[in-house]
Amino acid sequence: MRQVRVVFTEPQSARANISVTAAIAELHVAGESPDTLRLYSYPKSVLLGRHQPLESINVAECEKRNVEIARRLTGGGAIYMDRGVVTWDFIVGTRDFGGGITRSISEIGKALAASLSRFGLPAESKKENEVEIGGKKVCGISGYYDGATYVCQGSILVDVDLKQMSSVLRDSRSRGAPATHEVINIADMMGRRPDNAELFQTLAVGIAHHFNFTPQRMNLSDAERKLADRLFDEEYGRDQFVFGEDSRPNKIRRTEAGRARA
């Protein structure tokens, strides 16, 4: 049975988290990082899609509420993060985990639904990029291919601040009105807030079982840490990458130390 490295990374800024994902992906493409399942969390932040315009979020509310703004590697719409969200990266070779982007995202959705069922939750993967409970979204999934590397990301709502989420996101269907997503926290369904260690372990076991691999707990390599630091300094941590040509004042600051750790 093949092995996949499982990495639990400690809390750090949103832009630092994105830099770590980019470093693992880049080194995996180069054949220098193993297949990896990374589990982690974000501070309160908004992650723009790779090519999404800044106007898709309420920047004024982000500044008012000290919500960090970052831009992720994958496409799609903006998402809100805080400590009540568990996030994961699945960075693997297409030889073992390929089949096209739609099929790959669909399969990871099934794996996540099966993982959540271990908590007694009636989770279902009806849409290719979502996991639902009772018709309400608890998990979103996105991904892309880079050569022989597949990068899949997603987040699970545990006990996210839904009021703050609504205040900083915009719903394109409502011409810029605050978003009113049909979402639910798994803590509300469970009647308790499972800690991250329990969630990380359950997800790692569930995903490993679905894809038939042996999870191996490991840390980031020195090369990955160094590359993540460089990518943070030169690209993902810079306002120019996040805001583009927008000459917005530097009010959005990193809320925590911006270096990669594991």
Count of alpha carbons within 13 angstroms of residue 163, beta-carbon side: 1
Task: Inform me whether the pLDDT recorded for 253 exceeds 60.
Answer: no
Q: In the chain, how many domains are there?
A: 1
pLDDT at 240: 94
Q: How far is CA 211 from CA 1, 107, 120, 130, 261, in A?
A: 10, 9, 21, 18, 27
The pLDDT tens digits of the residues spanning 193-233 come to 999 899 999 999 999 999 999 999 999 999 999 999 999 99
Asked whether residue 196 is assigned to any structural domain, the reply reads yes
Asked whether residue 262 is assigned to any structural domain, the reply reads no
**Of 78-82, 203-207, 247-251, minimum mean pLDDT range:** 247-251
**Of 9-18, 27-36, 244-253, minimum mean pLDDT range:** 244-253
Q: What pLDDT band is residue 260 in, cutting at 50, 70 and 90?
A: very low
pLDDT at 171: 64
What one-character DSSP code corresponds to residue 245? Answer: T
pTM of the model: 0.88
- At 222, the amino acid letter reads D
Asked whether residue 75 is assigned to any structural domain, the reply reads yes
**Higher per-residue pLDDT: 262 or 131:** 131
The pLDDT tens digits of the residues spanning 154-165 come to 999 999 999 999
pLDDT at 98: 64
Task: Inform me whether the pLDDT recorded for 245 exceeds 80.
Answer: no
**Higher per-residue pLDDT: 255 or 10:** 10
What is the domain extent for residue 70?
Answer: 3-243
Task: Report the percent of the chain where pLDDT is more than 90.
Answer: 73
Asked whether residue 164 is assigned to any structural domain, the reply reads yes
Asked whether residue 177 is assigned to any structural domain, the reply reads yes
pLDDT at 181: 59
Phi, psi of 11 (to 5 degrees): -60, 140
Asked whether residue 253 is assigned to any structural domain, the reply reads no
Residue 46 belongs to domain with CATH number: 3.30.930.10
The pLDDT tens digits of the residues spanning 169-196 come to 976 554 444 454 589 999 999 999 999 8
Q: How far apart are CA 28 and CA 221, in angstroms?
A: 12
Within a 10 A sphere around the Cβ of 126, how many other Cβ atoms? 10
Asked whether residue 200 is assigned to any structural domain, the reply reads yes
